[in-house]
């Protein structure tokens, strides 16, 4: 599964639960940035986080 952020071709490994929009699946780098926002809860996608280099 590919990262849900525009222009990112990395593999998604985290599902973000975002209160003000639909959930989003992103790569670990984008998850790190999103997780700093209030109310955003990052949840690792089972089996994907282990495969991400």
Instruction: For the chain, give the percent of residues with pLDDT over 70.
Output: 91
Burial 11-25 (b: 16+ CB within 10 A, else e): bbbbbbeeeeeeebb
The answer, as to whether pTM is greater than 0.85, is no
pLDDT higher than 60, residue 53: no
User: How many whole angstroms separate alpha carbon 46 and alpha carbon 23?
Assistant: 16
Q: Domain spans of the chain?
A: 14-51
């Amino acid at each position: 599964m590919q990262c849900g952020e525009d222009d990112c071709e990395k593999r998604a490994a985290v599902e973000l639960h975002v209160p003000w929009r639909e959930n989003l699946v992103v790569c670990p780098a984008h998850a790190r940035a999103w997780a700093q926002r209030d109310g955003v809860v990052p949840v690792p996608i089972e089996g994907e986080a282990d495969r991400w280099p």
